[in-house]
């Protein structure tokens, strides 16, 4: 197309498609109408409508984790971006690449301070690695290509392109180039010998994160562990981890600070590959923030944005473990069907039994899920996604993105009721798109984690006013009606037998379903 035949919005859509950005999670407004119109006559972009932008940005996070390439979001000015901000925070912490397209008033309109005028660059900055306001229709294509390239920078970055409406509707749009994703940085080879020397028996921990948790890289880590006797752990929160029978099984550093301190206490030497040295999720009065034992020697071989496969391969070679059989390979191991009233242990077994081959588990189970990891070690091979940024409301949206990225796989979303309420609008998008998501809502009717945290921060005997602020039982949420109201079939279960039946149904039907689990 020649310039005079294309407006800025059209050049933007063309550029995104040429750079393999093929999905747009969106809630558009007036200032985005030319982008919407461009999607009408340029085929190839799957537009997924969300009823609140937190759903859109969380979906983009889940999409990147599974597709290993970014989706776009289309957001309505500063407030639309603001609604998506907390899940962009989570995406940023997960190392997910996202290309945000944020509409803005026409340049001449901004100075008039209209109701929707705000400092969009200011709002975007804290959650973005890359922010740019495109100055004209002619530059939109180039800017979009650079935005995608920024988003593809390893491990993945948040790029926010702000699109004034006149740059969208003016003619003179010029598609940007197809740019290559930057290669990941090299790992720190200068410490390879130090790392190899540190791998000396069970007092050494090889701590893994990021893409060190692919099936292939876990296998290399397993060889290293078999050869040296070192321990393997993953970070507490991991964007994506391959797990289940036949894979090297790696437990995560626990969340509760006292347990984490205990688990990490034995390690005098720690080698980091795609991970950071463990710290507390929060500070607690009188407890350490750094969780490793005092004086532990920490060797950072590779940060999350580095080439972790090469780092592990070289480390493995340097200790001569290439041909060693990997340690900690999980055997198929699923317990018998539990019976009767669901409790947390039985729940974990039910989930382990239900996970289908190649299932994707999105984990926002918070307190309910502390038994899930050991129970699912020998489940069918699957992918496990954690919340890396700690902002609740990540689970249901991320499940949308994973399902859009992997239409041939089943998604199991494990979500606490408090977390699920944050972005509950996600259910409607699941129904609309017919996504194969089975959402388990853990109805303990409280922000249960905060009951424990009150004690951890030194508030021993919370009174009724404090307890009331952590309770969701007045009134009780009815998740079955909630789900039906947005077009998703749902059932409430209290017994293991009911749960097994509901999981079997949900994981084989077309489209989404929800199971409210009474705890």
Interface residues for its own copies in 239-268 (CB under 8 A)? none
- What kind and span of H or E run contains 59? helix 53-67
Length of the chain, please? 519
Contacts of 19 (CB under 8 A, 6+ apart): 144, 145, 148, 149, 176, 178, 179
**Closer residue to its own copies (CB): 198 or 388:** 388
Give the residue among 485, 454, 476, 479 at the shortest CA–CA distance from 467: 454
- Give the shortest CB-461-to-its own copies separation in angstroms: 9
Choice from 85, 102, 400, 499 touching its own copies (CB under 8 A):
85
Decide if residue 226 touches its own copies (CB under 8 A).
no
Restricting to residues 430-449, name those near its own copies by CB under 8 A. Answer: 431-432, 449
Other CB atoms closer than 10 Å to residue 112's CB: what's the count? 9
Restricting to residues 312-341, name those near its own copies by CB under 8 A. Answer: none
β-bridge partners, 248: 329
Restricting to residues 116-135, name those near its own copies by CB under 8 A. Answer: 116, 118-119, 122-123, 125-127
- Give the shortest CB-425-to-its own copies separation in angstroms: 6
Decide if residue 303 touches its own copies (CB under 8 A).
no
**Closer residue to its own copies (CB): 354 or 491:** 491
Burial class of 41 by CB neighbour count within 10 A (0 to 12, 13 to 18, 19+): exposed
* Cβ contact 222:249 at 8 Å: no
**Residues in contact with its own copies, shown as a per-residue x/- string from 270 to 289 under the rule CB under 8 A:** ------x--xxxxx-x---x
Choice from 79, 138, 229, 356 touching its own copies (CB under 8 A):
79
Beta strands 98-104; 71-75: pairing state: parallel
Decide if residue 293 touches its own copies (CB under 8 A).
no
Restricting to residues 46-65, name those near its own copies by CB under 8 A. Answer: 47, 49, 51-52, 54
Q: What's the rounded Cα separation, in Å, for the pair 224 and 324?
A: 8
Choice from 244, 401, 418, 506 touching its own copies (CB under 8 A):
418
φ/ψ of residue 374, rounded to 5: -60, -35
Decide if residue 454 touches its own copies (CB under 8 A).
yes
Restricting to residues 155-194, name those near its own copies by CB under 8 A. Answer: 165-166, 169
CA count, 13 A, side-chain hemisphere, 242: 19
Give the helix, strand, coil percentages of the chain, each rounded to 5. 40, 20, 40
- Give the shortest CB-216-to-its own copies separation in angstroms: 26
Choice from 1, 189, 469, 504 touching its own copies (CB under 8 A):
469
Decide if residue 398 touches its own copies (CB under 8 A).
no
Part in contact with its own copies (CB under 8 A); list of ranges 41-49, 142-150, 238-246, 301-309: 41-49
**Residues in contact with its own copies, shown as a per-residue x/- string from 374 to 393 under the rule CB under 8 A:** --------------xxxx-x
Task: Give the pair of three-digit tokens for residue 177.
Answer: 């180039």
- Give the shortest CB-24-to-its own copies separation in angstroms: 9
**Closer residue to its own copies (CB): 38 or 250:** 38
Decide if residue 40 touches its own copies (CB under 8 A).
yes
Choice from 179, 197, 344, 457 touching its own copies (CB under 8 A):
457
Contacts of 178 (CB under 8 A, 6+ apart): 18, 19, 145
**Residues in contact with its own copies, shown as a per-residue x/- string from 91 to 120 under the rule CB under 8 A:** --x-----------xx-xx--xxxxx-xx-
**Closer residue to its own copies (CB): 54 or 70:** 54
Q: How is the beta sheet containing 158-164 ordered, strand by strand?
A: 46-49, 23-27, 71-75, 98-104, 158-164, 130-133
Burial class of 407 by CB neighbour count within 10 A (0 to 12, 13 to 18, 19+): exposed
* Cβ contact 410:349 at 8 Å: no
Q: What's the rounded Cα separation, in Å, for the pair 323 and 200?
A: 18
- Give the shortest CB-431-to-its own copies separation in angstroms: 5
Choice from 2, 4, 41, 294 touching its own copies (CB under 8 A):
41
Decide if residue 83 touches its own copies (CB under 8 A).
yes
Count of positions on this chain that bind its own copies (CB under 8 A): 99
Helices (H), 265-389: 308-318, 344-354, 372-375
């Amino acid at each position: 197309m020649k310039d005079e035949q294309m407006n800025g919005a059209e050049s933007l859509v063309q550029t995104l498609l040429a750079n393999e950005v093929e999905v747009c999670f969106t809630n558009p407004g007036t200032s985005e109408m030319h982008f919407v119109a461009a999607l009408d006559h340029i085929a190839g972009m799957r537009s997924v409508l969300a009823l609140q932008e937190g759903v859109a940005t969380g979906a983009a996070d889940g999409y990147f984790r599974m597709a290993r390439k970014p989706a776009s979001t289309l957001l309505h000015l500063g407030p639309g971006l603001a609604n998506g901000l907390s899940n962009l925070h989570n995406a940023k912490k997960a190392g997910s690449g996202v290309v945000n397209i944020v509409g803005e008033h026409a340049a001449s309109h901004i100075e008039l301070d209209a109701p929707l005028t705000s400092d969009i660059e200011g709002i975007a900055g804290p959650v973005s690695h890359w922010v740019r306001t495109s100055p004209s229709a002619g530059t939109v294509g180039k800017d979009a290509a650079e935005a995608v390239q920024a988003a593809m920078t390893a491990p993945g970055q948040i790029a926010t392109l702000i699109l004034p409406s006149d740059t969208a509707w003016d003619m003179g749009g010029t598609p940007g180039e197809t740019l290559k994703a930057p290669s990941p940085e090299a790992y720190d080879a200068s410490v390879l010998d130090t790392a190899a020397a540190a791998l000396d028996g069970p007092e050494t921990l090889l701590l893994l994160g990021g893409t060190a948790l692919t099936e292939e890289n876990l296998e290399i880590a397993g060889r290293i562990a078999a050869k040296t006797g070192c321990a393997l752990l993953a970070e507490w929160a991991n964007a994506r981890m391959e797990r289940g029978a036949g894979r090297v099984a790696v437990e995560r550093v626990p969340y509760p600070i006292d347990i984490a301190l205990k688990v990490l206490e034995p390690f005098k030497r720690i080698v980091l590959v795609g991970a950071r040295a463990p710290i507390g999720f929060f500070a607690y009065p009188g407890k350490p923030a750094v969780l490793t034992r005092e004086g532990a020697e920490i060797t950072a071989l590779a940060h999350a944005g580095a080439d972790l496969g090469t780092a592990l391969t070289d480390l493995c070679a340097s200790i001569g473990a290439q041909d060693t059989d990997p340690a900690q390979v999980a055997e198929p191991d699923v317990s018998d069907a539990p019976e009767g009233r669901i409790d947390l242990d039985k729940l974990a077994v039910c989930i382990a039994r239900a996970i289908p081959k190649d299932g994707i588990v999105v984990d926002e189970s918070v307190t309910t899920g502390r038994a899930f990891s050991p129970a699912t070690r020998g489940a069918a091979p699957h992918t496990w996604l954690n919340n890396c940024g700690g902002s609740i409301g990540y689970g249901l949206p991320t499940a949308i993105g994973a399902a859009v990225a992997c239409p041939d796989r089943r998604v199991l979303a494990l979500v606490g009721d408090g977390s699920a309420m944050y972005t509950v609008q996600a259910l409607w998008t699941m129904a609309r798109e017919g996504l194969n998501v089975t959402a388990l809502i853990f109805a303990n009717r409280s922000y249960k984690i905060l009951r424990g945290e009150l004690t951890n921060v030194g508030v021993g005997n919370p009174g009724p006013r404090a307890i009331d602020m952590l309770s969701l039982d007045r009134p009780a949420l009815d998740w079955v009606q909630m789900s039906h109201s947005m077009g998703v079939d749902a059932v409430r279960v209290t017994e293991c037998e009911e749960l097994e039946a509901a999981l079997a149904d949900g994981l084989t039907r077309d489209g989404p379903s929800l199971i409210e689990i009474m705890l």
